[in-house]
Amino acid sequence: TRKPLIAGNWKMNLNHLEAIALVQKIAFSLTDEQLEAVEAAVLPPFVDIRSVQTLIDGDKLKIAFGAQDLSAHAAGAYTGEVSGSMLAKLGCAYVCVGHSERRQYHGEDDETVGKKVRQSLNNGLSPILCVGEELEVRDAGDHVSHTVGQLLAAVDGLTAEEMDKIVVAYEPVWAIGTGRTATPEDAQEVSAALRKAVADKFGGETAAKLRVLYGGSVKSANCASIMSKPDVDGALVGGASLDAEEFAKLIKFPE
Ligand code: 13P
């Protein structure tokens, strides 16, 4: 059985002092048991990660942390970039790769996303690989082939053992920050197709272990119904993860 992952993508919000305050509030809203029923993770901006790590490690909080992006390169003359090895050294478990905002606003194509997956794995980080279609693609009925195509391009050349480290997040672009959530059936349709593509390429055992998250306007009010779908194994949460009370409720969704 797959343990659900509830990951908060803070995007470009909160300085390091606000980051500490948010993690503290999340921690004292929840018991260790609640934090162990699911896996909870936060993905702060780069400059907050050290502060979040010090708090989480110092108080042995059962909250994982990671980054929102990493460089496609290992090291060297790449001004402004942050490498996978730097993130690993800080204790990051996860790193978001291929978020639609990176694809849209920073021109990341499948090839770049694939290189970032490679850098994540080379440094022992679990990529949260984001895929998802724009509204025009869904309206044309091509959402399944589009998202499966993004997934297969990003994991090309991986071994099954490497695939075991990957988390996939299905984030329909039209549902991000819009308040327009996919229906549980929409999330299930694509999640099942993504899992099947992994089964076809890497085998049934790898596919059975794969966690597929849903992202796009997830809130405490819609979380449980989406998570009840058999192929949906957690959530990648934007806006609602900035509110400690809301995020704590999301972590408590199985109750
Ligand atoms: P919202 O939850 O704000 O819609 O953002 C979703 C998202 O992009 C998470 O990565």
- Which residue, judged by its Cα, is nearest atom 5 of ligand 1? 238
Domain 5-182+190-208+235-251, CATH homologous superfamily name and number? Aldolase class I (3.20.20.70)
147-170 average pLDDT score: 98
CA of 241 to the centre of ligand 1 (A): 9
Tell me the per-residue pLDDT of 193-237, one tens digit each, with 9 for 90 and over. Answer: 999 999 999 999 999 999 999 999 999 999 999 999 999 999 999
Residue 176 Cβ < 6 Å to ligand 1:
yes
Whether 16 is catalytic = no
Distances (CA, A) of 85 to 49, 76, 91, 199: 14, 12, 10, 30
- As given in the structure block, the two tokens for residue 47 are 């400059």
| Ligand 1 atom nearest 96 alpha carbon | 10
Give residue limits of the domains in the chain: 5-182+190-208+235-251
CA of 188 to the centre of ligand 1 (A): 18
* pLDDT > 90 in the chain, percent: 97
CA of 239 to the centre of ligand 1 (A): 6
The DSSP symbol for 3 reads P
- Which residue, judged by its Cα, is nearest atom 1 of ligand 1? 238
How far apart are the C-alpha atoms of 194 and 223, rounded to whole Å? 20
How far apart are the C-alpha atoms of 140 and 146, rounded to whole Å? 11
Residue 85's CB: how many other CB atoms inside 10 A?
Answer: 16
Provide the pLDDT confidence category of residue 1 given band limits of 50, 70 and 90: confident
Whether 161 is catalytic = no
Q: Which residue has the tokens 């809203």?
A: 29
Tell me the per-residue pLDDT of 39-76, one tens digit each, with 9 for 90 and over. Answer: 999 999 999 999 999 999 999 999 999 999 999 999 99
Q: How far is CA 118 from the centre of its chain?
A: 16
Say what the ipTM of the complex is.
0.99
